[in-house]
Chain A
Amino acid sequence: DAKTTQPNSMESNEEEPVHLPCNHSTISGTDYIHWYRQLPSQGPEYVIHGLTSNVNNRMASLAIAEDRKSSTLILHRATLRDAAVYYCPPREGANNLFFGTGTRLTVIP
């Protein structure tokens, strides 16, 4: 099973861009890279996913390294509502994403 490594915590000033890194050096060639976030007192919510190309949606951008061993979730302008724990869960087995402890993002007003 693939493993991922994320920093335990990060801080950002409000309205500044945030780059959240994830290392997934053991990812298989067919596994998608997923990002989820968990706001306080809520369940995880999907943010974005991709396979090889960079991806954009209304929430964030996902930059995937050419060798796919790492990715970066980009929040273009952090707001207080973006304060959450961010996960890049690797695939575990056939039907599971392994959510570890993620990166706790603090947004400073």
Chain B
Amino acid sequence: EAQVTQNPRYLITVTGKKLTVTCSQNMNHEYMSWYRQDPGLGLRQIYYSMNVEVTDKGDVPEGYKVSRKEKRNFPLILESPSPNQTSLYFCASSLLGGRHEKLFFGSGTQLSVL
């Protein structure tokens, strides 16, 4: 089944403790992206990647890092999490990132930073 898999589904951590949220897709998609969703603000793009070793900032990249060493994986790294990064995170992918393509989303990771 074609899918985008995120792990973990829920994560509670403390300020400053590095964490990684994993994202994997099995559709051989070149384009992958991370969003965060906050009440009243909708989904905001954090980072995106057009292909292996090609990443770029979205609207809210501060405090986040990403890497794209393999086509299928696009982990989101919070090196020193802070409470304002408490949010619901979604990974998404599409074939090439083209204007007409549909995005496939993961089920989300609810992160709480205490």
Contacts and interface: CB of A to CB of B under 8 A. Distances in A.
Interface size class of B (residues with CB under 8 A): 20 to 34
Contacts of A44: 43, 90, 92, 103, 105
Interface string A81-109: 00000010001100111111110000000
A99 B37 CA distance: 9
A25 B97 CA distance: 24
A83 B95 CA distance: 28
Interface string B71-109: 000000000000000000010100001011011111110
A102 B42 CA distance: 8
A51 B100 CA distance: 9
Interface in A23-48: 30-32, 34, 36, 41-46
Given A95-B31, A95-B50, A96-B48, A101 B103 contact: no
A98 B45 CA distance: 8
Contacts of B100: 32, 49, 51
A49 B94 CA distance: 14
Interface of A: 30-32, 34, 36, 41-46, 49, 51, 87, 91-92, 95-102
Interface of B: 4, 31, 33, 35, 37, 40-43, 45, 48, 50, 56, 58-59, 90, 92, 97, 99-100, 102-108
